[in-house]
Amino acid sequence: MSILLHPQLAVEAQFRITEWFSLAVADFLEKHAGLSVVRIKWPNDIYIGTKKIAGILIEHHWSGAEIAYSILGIGLNVRQTLFPETLPNPTSVLLEKGNDLTIEDCALGIRDCLLQRKRQEAANLHADYLQRLYRKQETAAYQDTTTGECFQGMITGVSEKGLLQVRCGEALREFELNSIAYR
């Protein structure tokens, strides 16, 4: 589904929309689908444990220094039981919980959760996002896609502008979208 949003935010605050929508989907999956261990793989994929249940795309349109509107798109695996072999770790609501939600239930539930998250103060929203961050405080292998370098690191957070923060030894590095890959 897609949602048209008029966020009334400055361009610098655009990552807040990612937080709103990612958390809304996570909230929906916990409250309405009964799933647990819902995590956000930076910046906005939704995982149940180590399996991907949803992907989110967000397109922003600017007017001067403000976001005029955003289109929020989600692909949520609701009733799928078979997936292409090329997908490494997919799952669905039905596989995880046996819950037979309708598409309408999902659309309305996600919308309601989004409206609740949109009212949340920015600092609390960011803290909630960080709390759900996939692989946070776990040492894992990554690749810097701009240099090809493979390294061990630990995700420590995300800046308010949406940069992934990874501790590599004593250094704290920040990565933009598509500049780091999970290994």
Q: What is the pLDDT of residues 121-157, one digit of tens each?
A: 999 999 999 999 999 999 999 999 999 999 999 999 9
| 17, 73: one domain | yes
| 112, 149: one domain | no
| 164, 86: one domain | no
Per the structure, the count of domains in the chain is 2
| 80, 169: one domain | no
How much is the pTM? 0.95
Closest CA to 122 of 12, 24, 20: 20
| 67, 146: one domain | no
| 144, 127: one domain | no
| 119, 143: one domain | no
Quick one: which H or E segment has residue 69? strand 66-76
Collect contacts of 146-150 with beta carbons under 8 A, ≥24 apart: 146/179, 150/183
Residue span of the structural domain in which 145 resides: 139-182
**Stretch among 90-104, 136-150, 155-169 having the lowest mean pLDDT:** 90-104
10, pLDDT greater than 80:
yes
